Structure 1
């Protein structure tokens, strides 16, 4: 097959194509997810149905649209998606930063969770709380498993598919497009990270997810390999999945939502470590370019 499939598209046409693919994917994923319990006769709220719906959502909303979009628009679709070679060092630096940022993100998360809107916006605040509780309830229903099989499925679904699909859409496509549109890498990365955080509809976790999005965005920008943010995303989600599993089997008793929270000294040291790792990554990238 010769790429791109669609020749000579302008910016507006590209936005329309991407939006159309996402909407079509969302509709298809939803229809297939809804049809599953009707065909199988199982309860739509049981574990298998929720897993199937989640997998359909990831594949049809986050994975297929960016791949198809890139094949339609770009002459080298997979290279344009960031499937470039990387090194183990880059991956280790990225994953390490995922953990060193956790203490700061825990503090930001606690502040975010206690934000109060003005009385005039009480309706909006109530809606935000309802959405947050609904999302939390569904996630906890999925992640509380007490067997290895359930853990493996969750690592594949919540860590693997989410990391692969969301990074393709938000970093490979949306961030890259915004950087070109804004002609400024920092603005493009920030807007893409804000969209990434907002789309989860967990408003009382917006700012911690924004920080993670910025970290993923900058690492993709400097490494030029989508494998780096994918590995970081997998490490972040995989850690949460594994902690919930350990809680479920009684091996530990950890507040997963507050995981990483430490004293101010450790938090400051972790911030310094994150900056140092990021600086090292940039320096490493400049040496490679030279």
Structure 2
């Protein structure tokens, strides 16, 4: 267990209590989210007109200009605010931006190879959690969560509708890379650091952040697999001391989904990327053992190179 040095707030400290930091960060994020959505709505209305904006609100995917307008709203109203909030918070509201975002590249590059292997070899385990999640029954008063998830699925299908290699490249960069950078800066950067200070325990911070990360996506039936991914990302960053290990893992996950979706759309492969019944119990057990082993190796390499983070 990693016990983290912690500074209580004194009259000589410039740092706020972690609880206050968390509330301030949420406020900063909400402000960024509001500004971004206002800008996005303004751009879509000015370029494509009010009808296109209404088509997006009703998810009329066949409406003219639906896809480019959706991209504008996605980038200005979601991706940029998620990226801007931690940057603004770290640079303007704390005196230790590198401590919160952890943009240092000085970590063993063997860790990136381990991450690459782990992200693919954990697929059976991810599938198992997804199948468990799908069997959960929501009470009637939470029916709106299923409807919200169905709407999110329609949006994602519209975004990932790809006709050529250029569309694939754009989606890999936008959905894969930019989303990974933005979300990792926010969750494994600022939020996880705040909870490390708050709980004084890396493990607690990683799991709390992973729970918030999964809940943030508002997809109940994908909560457990996304929770596990969040745990992976959290430990990658905590043990390496660099946000880029989490970004790399996040990018592999998102980028693979984009590429597999394209291959399926073009009938190059037969496996539906949404199919959650590709593996059996033996594969689940093997995947679990391999994941634990790779995490142990990752931790050992990071510690041997003195890359254990000081936060």
Within-5 A mapping of 1:204-219: 204-219=221-236
**Paired residue for 2:157, among 140, 161, 175?**
140
Contact kept, 8 Å, 1:170 with 1:196, in 2: the verdict is: yes
1:67 and 2:87 equivalent? yes
1: CA distance, partners of 2:100 / 2:26: 18
22-31 vs 182-191, which deviates more? 182-191
The number of residue pairs the alignment matches comes to 280
2: CA distance, partners of 1:250 / 1:36: 36
Within-5 A mapping of 1:49-198: 49-85=69-105, 86-117=107-138, 121-124=139-142, 126-198=143-215
Structure 1 residue runs without a partner (length 5+): 1-6
2: CA distance, partners of 1:286 / 1:244: 37
Structure 2 residue runs without a partner (length 5+): 1-12, 57-65
| TM, length-normalised to structure 1 | 0.91
Shift of 1:269: 1.5
1:284 and 2:301 equivalent? yes
2: CA distance, partners of 1:77 / 1:249: 44
Secondary structure at the aligned position of 2:274 is classed as: helix
| TM, length-normalised to structure 2 | 0.85
Shift of 1:70: 0.6
In structure 2, the CA distance between the partners of 1:79 and 1:174, relative to structure 1 (3 Å rule), is closer
More helix by share: 1
Shift of 1:9: 4.0
Report the aligned-residue RMSD: 1.8
Secondary structure at the aligned position of 1:289 is classed as: coil
Contact kept, 8 Å, 1:159 with 1:234, in 2: the verdict is: yes
2: CA distance, partners of 1:74 / 1:252: 49
Contact kept, 8 Å, 1:30 with 1:53, in 2: the verdict is: yes
Shift of 1:55: 1.2
Secondary structure at the aligned position of 2:102 is classed as: coil
